[in-house]
A and B are shown apart, each in its own frame.
Chain A
């Protein structure tokens, strides 16, 4: 008779793609940081690429630990994690607890061994908690107060992260939450109204930013306004006071050039890569310091890859992410229950949002918003959370439907 075909416990394809991404991450963090003479003087175990590998190891450990228990158990603790992260987000806003590290935004809490970035962990906690909340029977979701509660669940971390300020990380929460609500079965009309409402608000916001005279402008950090203006190609001199002298206009233009510098250098890096790139560690933009050293190994790591491996390299990176995302969707399809499906969908959307915003930022189809590229950017919190998120997906896969 027939014997049950032994099922794969873990999704191998996804893990292979992840291994590929981790390999690329190590290689290009190495390339991006080793041009810095300060870096080469450190012993190899203190160097940045090695530290990235340590985070990978730690992350893998955490993911494995998560897979040991059934995700339902984890879901029971989801709200604890959620409120703990909200507390951390509040804490990071307090001046002496939260550190800016010179970036002008208070995003980190300095622990003895680790710079803890609560926004990253908050995103994963939100996915878990949101999935847990939305996994109730679909009929309940038709009730308006449940709808508003799920919006509140999303808005609370959104507003807190926005206050740091960290526009990019806050933004990724929105599509994630929206997609999870869609898949959960929230009635269409609510979602449509929500999308239309948000769309209107966004247009008003952008219009105010670009066209309004000084008195009507919404208060916002200068550098964020500048970044958005650069993205929309708005000339700073448009906002000069009527009596501005040519010298002042010149200074405004100079400031615009300086602010647009990162994007311009990223574009030049990506564009000059050509079809096959210049070769590993042969990227001139990075070596000569045109791509600022401070961002080359995290937010703009994709520029380094694009310059050194060209279009071919970019396609490989996108393919690897595509594999992770689509296997994630398959996991969602084969999940045992709504909770599993929602978590998987949430994670997929989270990762996709990061990828889209970061790569888009590198080629100027998105404004510069400081979102890391999962697993490729250097950064302990980002790596840990990406791997934890993947661990959750694997967990769902392990405990999937028996058929």
Chain B
């Protein structure tokens, strides 16, 4: 070796030194080996931790369309004007330099002034009082940054044509916590502002436009309950990375279809990684996974019918009416319209409203009587009142009731011109006048007495069994997070502690029975279509946003059968005829619903709402119907809280809807013809 041979001879000290050198260098080599080879990964990850930031990029949300592809909910691009702080780094430093210089000059002046007063120069300790503390220097730095940012913002505002201000506290907070991200100065620029900005700026100057995708409901509050709303929520979903340094604003559905199908609508968030330097400024960015857009939802809703229902409610009862309308296709259970009033603007929950609008909506939202957030079509239990009599009627007919047999309704001694019936010792009022009633007349005049005796004849068990076949007391599984099951006494319930008086209540749709308008639409559809109880279908299919995408479409099959009521065709025919009479006969309570050219079968209802002392405090009015009589296709259920009567309050709304249905039916072939001829 180099040296050792020569040293072997007679230089023990040099040998010793050589050995020490070797040992020292080996220690260094061992240390370097440990750090650079063995622990390399650990240090590399430390490097990445301090130098890399990850950003979660939310994906574009899927659209919600009606059955003919018309848009109910979509996204709009919002352009925000933001400051890119890494471009302003040098200006910050320069501004701080200037401020510091003037601060030092001021300090020197102060010292000179004090010295002059004392007539001597200050000692080191006394001078120390004048030195700037770190907090003061920090405040100076913040002030210099705010000054630079303000001037940039003012310049940008002048060019864009709108005076802009900078909130110092907010800016400093952003600087401290999210320096690598752009600082938004003006949100949601309109087209003119964007044009002016692009025209006057060509790179540099630290400000640029930022694109944000925001949910937009082009039809305002149409189908607001059904669609639901979003709230701000940027947490990670299942199957996503759970750690991100920053998260861009994202939203999640809370109720309605937005919530029930949130997973399909939201797509998959992407991620971007940023390299930051030791001060936190962004150096470069790298898109690490693209966000995947969500899928579109196609509902079974028909926008024309939905709008007609909502417009009719407003026209007849005003915007604050507490009501619900459900239109269903009886052949397969498709929900063609589901309206609930009063509504709340979905933009309230995502800060899309101006401050006064927001205050107004908030006042409505907290009103205990209005309760606009409830979807009255599916989320509230109501006493059905007389519309429940169709079930009683069918049960009685199946039990052998002769529809032609007349029943004598006795006069009410305390109410002249009105009938009554005694069940045990209890008297139940009848709105129909005393006289002879067969099935048809009883239905069209909605006679309580007739149906109570019919129900008692059929027996409560038969009624309950039939009601269970109609799936009353069960939810419809819409996955909108807005459903209640209603209430129907079970067989066990009617076997103990149950009296004839309770049965009588059930016969007139009061007492322990409560339903939702959607459930009644299923009932009436079943009666209309010959006895099949369908699962209501709200979503027709889920398809990719991009038409040329290779992703598959998920179809939800129509006409899923839930149950069959097992009632004879004869009973149903009798029922249909009776219901037709209700709207077409002069005596019928549903006369207001009649639309020339369409034969409608209907039933009105007025249920009493009692308080805990059994005093009547309110009425729930109903109109449940289907049409056309010859070949039933549409079922319409209208419910209005605090109405005067089913016939007076709800039937006119039904009329408007059926008018629209007729219009669509007649115009559709005309349109096709016109298209074919051109």
**Could you say which residues of chain A place their CB within 8 Å of the CB of B7?**
329-330, 333
- CB neighbors of A among B1-33 (8 A): 2-3, 6-7, 11, 13-14, 16-18, 21, 24-25, 27-29, 31-33
CA distance A288 to B89 in the complex (A): 14
**Could you say which residues of chain B place their CB within 8 Å of the CB of A321?**
25
CA distance A182 to B278 in the complex (A): 48
Instruction: Take A272-B44, A274-B44 as given contacts and tell me if A326 and B21 are in contact as well, using a CB distance cutoff of 8 Å.
Output: yes
- CB neighbors of B among A214-239 (8 A): none
**A88 at interface, CB cutoff 8 A:** no
- CB neighbors of B among A342-382 (8 A): 345, 348-349, 352, 355-356, 359-360, 363, 365
Instruction: Take A268-B43, A271-B43, A314-B36 as given contacts and tell me if A360 and B18 are in contact as well, using a CB distance cutoff of 8 Å.
Output: no
**B319 at interface, CB cutoff 8 A:** no
**A207 at interface, CB cutoff 8 A:** no
**Could you say which residues of chain A place their CB within 8 Å of the CB of B101?**
none
Residue of A nearest to B47 (CB): A272
CA distance A403 to B549 in the complex (A): 88
**Could you say which residues of chain A place their CB within 8 Å of the CB of B577?**
none
Q: Is the CB of A359 within 8 A of B36?
A: no
Instruction: Take A285-B47, A330-B2 as given contacts and tell me if A183 and B14 are in contact as well, using a CB distance cutoff of 8 Å.
Output: yes
Q: Is the CB of A288 within 8 A of B275?
A: yes
A residues with a Cβ closer than 8 A to B are 179, 182-183, 264, 267-268, 270-275, 284-285, 288-290, 306, 310-311, 314-315, 318, 321-322, 325-327, 329-330, 332-334, 341, 345, 348-349, 352, 355-356, 359-360, 363, 365
Q: Which of B37, B47, B275, B283 contacts A275, CB < 8 Å? A: B37
A267 vs chain B, min Cβ distance (A): 7
Instruction: Take A267-B43, A325-B21, A349-B17 as given contacts and tell me if A288 and B277 are in contact as well, using a CB distance cutoff of 8 Å.
Output: yes
Instruction: Take A271-B43, A285-B47 as given contacts and tell me if A183 and B13 are in contact as well, using a CB distance cutoff of 8 Å.
Output: yes
Closest 10 CB pairs of A and B: A271-B43, A288-B277, A311-B36, A289-B278, A274-B40, A272-B44, A290-B278, A272-B43, A272-B47, A183-B13
Instruction: Take A289-B279, A290-B278, A306-B32 as given contacts and tell me if A345 and B14 are in contact as well, using a CB distance cutoff of 8 Å.
Output: yes
CA distance A285 to B279 in the complex (A): 12
**Could you say which residues of chain B place their CB within 8 Å of the CB of A264?**
46
CA distance A57 to B7 in the complex (A): 34
Interface range on chain B (Cβ under 8 Å from partner)? 35 or more
Q: Is the CB of A329 within 8 A of B35?
A: no
- Listed A/B pairs (10) with beta-carbon separation below 8 Å: A267-B43, A268-B43, A268-B46, A273-B36, A275-B40, A311-B32, A329-B3, A333-B3, A356-B24, A363-B31
For the complex with contacts A270-B32, A326-B2, A363-B31, 6 further pairs of A-B residues with Cβ separation under 8 Å are A271-B35, A274-B40, A288-B51, A326-B3, A329-B3, A329-B18
B452 vs chain A, min Cβ distance (A): 76
Q: Is the CB of B279 within 8 A of A271?
A: no
Q: Is the CB of A359 within 8 A of B28?
A: yes
**Could you say which residues of chain A place their CB within 8 Å of the CB of B278?**
288-290
**Could you say which residues of chain B place their CB within 8 Å of the CB of A314?**
32, 36
**Could you say which residues of chain B place their CB within 8 Å of the CB of A267?**
35, 43
CA distance A332 to B16 in the complex (A): 13
CA distance A314 to B27 in the complex (A): 13
**B546 at interface, CB cutoff 8 A:** no
**B42 at interface, CB cutoff 8 A:** yes
**Could you say which residues of chain A place their CB within 8 Å of the CB of B18?**
326, 329
A320 vs chain B, min Cβ distance (A): 11
Residue of A nearest to B24 (CB): A356
**Could you say which residues of chain A place their CB within 8 Å of the CB of B24?**
352, 356
Residue of B nearest to A292 (CB): B278
**Could you say which residues of chain A place their CB within 8 Å of the CB of B37?**
274-275, 311
**B276 at interface, CB cutoff 8 A:** yes
**B50 at interface, CB cutoff 8 A:** yes
B127 vs chain A, min Cβ distance (A): 15
**Could you say which residues of chain A place their CB within 8 Å of the CB of B290?**
none
**B151 at interface, CB cutoff 8 A:** no
A382 vs chain B, min Cβ distance (A): 19
Q: Is the CB of B3 within 8 A of A330?
A: yes
Q: Is the CB of A332 within 8 A of B14?
A: yes
- CB neighbors of A among B199-238 (8 A): none
CA distance A333 to B43 in the complex (A): 43
Q: Is the CB of A365 within 8 A of B21?
A: no
B9 vs chain A, min Cβ distance (A): 8
Q: Is the CB of A271 within 8 A of B42?
A: yes
**Could you say which residues of chain B place their CB within 8 Å of the CB of A359?**
28, 32
Number of A-B contacts (CB under 8 A): 123
Instruction: Take A183-B13, A318-B29 as given contacts and tell me if A270 and B35 are in contact as well, using a CB distance cutoff of 8 Å.
Output: yes
Q: Is the CB of B14 within 8 A of A284?
A: no
Instruction: Take A311-B33, A356-B24, A363-B32 as given contacts and tell me if A333 and B17 are in contact as well, using a CB distance cutoff of 8 Å.
Output: no
Q: Is the CB of A288 within 8 A of B276?
A: yes
**Could you say which residues of chain A place their CB within 8 Å of the CB of B44?**
271-272, 274
**B245 at interface, CB cutoff 8 A:** no
Q: Is the CB of B27 within 8 A of A365?
A: yes
A356 vs chain B, min Cβ distance (A): 5
CA distance A273 to B34 in the complex (A): 12
**Could you say which residues of chain B place their CB within 8 Å of the CB of A345?**
14, 17
Q: Is the CB of B36 within 8 A of A310?
A: yes
Residue of B nearest to A266 (CB): B35
A283 vs chain B, min Cβ distance (A): 10
Instruction: Take A183-B17, A330-B6, A352-B24 as given contacts and tell me if A275 and B36 are in contact as well, using a CB distance cutoff of 8 Å.
Output: yes
B420 vs chain A, min Cβ distance (A): 79
**Could you say which residues of chain B place their CB within 8 Å of the CB of A271?**
35-36, 39-40, 42-44, 46
CA distance A322 to B277 in the complex (A): 36
**Could you say which residues of chain A place their CB within 8 Å of the CB of B34?**
363
CA distance A273 to B44 in the complex (A): 8
CA distance A341 to B7 in the complex (A): 13
Q: Is the CB of B6 within 8 A of A333?
A: yes
Q: Which of B35, B40, B276, B279 contacts A363, CB < 8 Å? A: B35
**Could you say which residues of chain B place their CB within 8 Å of the CB of A355?**
28
CA distance A310 to B43 in the complex (A): 13
**Could you say which residues of chain B place their CB within 8 Å of the CB of A318?**
25, 28-29, 32
B41 vs chain A, min Cβ distance (A): 8
CA distance A268 to B31 in the complex (A): 14
Residue of B nearest to A344 (CB): B14
CA distance A332 to B11 in the complex (A): 10
Residue of B nearest to A182 (CB): B13
With a 10 A CB-CB cut-off, give which of A267, A314, A355 has the most chain B CB atoms: A314
CA distance A268 to B52 in the complex (A): 14
**Could you say which residues of chain A place their CB within 8 Å of the CB of B3?**
326-327, 329-330, 333
CA distance A330 to B6 in the complex (A): 7
CA distance A289 to B25 in the complex (A): 30
**Could you say which residues of chain B place their CB within 8 Å of the CB of A325?**
21
**Could you say which residues of chain A place their CB within 8 Å of the CB of B33?**
311
Q: Is the CB of B2 within 8 A of A365?
A: no
CA distance A124 to B46 in the complex (A): 41
CA distance A179 to B13 in the complex (A): 9
Q: Is the CB of B21 within 8 A of A329?
A: yes
Residue of A nearest to B44 (CB): A272
A21 vs chain B, min Cβ distance (A): 15
**Could you say which residues of chain A place their CB within 8 Å of the CB of B40?**
271-275
CA distance A270 to B43 in the complex (A): 8
With a 10 A CB-CB cut-off, give which of A272, A345, A359, A360 has the most chain B CB atoms: A272
**Could you say which residues of chain B place their CB within 8 Å of the CB of A356?**
24, 27-28
CA distance A314 to B33 in the complex (A): 9
A96 vs chain B, min Cβ distance (A): 15
A146 vs chain B, min Cβ distance (A): 18
CA distance A148 to B32 in the complex (A): 39
Residue of A nearest to B39 (CB): A271
A242 vs chain B, min Cβ distance (A): 25
CA distance A348 to B277 in the complex (A): 40
A262 vs chain B, min Cβ distance (A): 12
Q: Is the CB of B14 within 8 A of A333?
A: yes
Residue of B nearest to A289 (CB): B278
**Could you say which residues of chain A place their CB within 8 Å of the CB of B39?**
271
- CB neighbors of A among B44-82 (8 A): 44, 46-47, 50-51
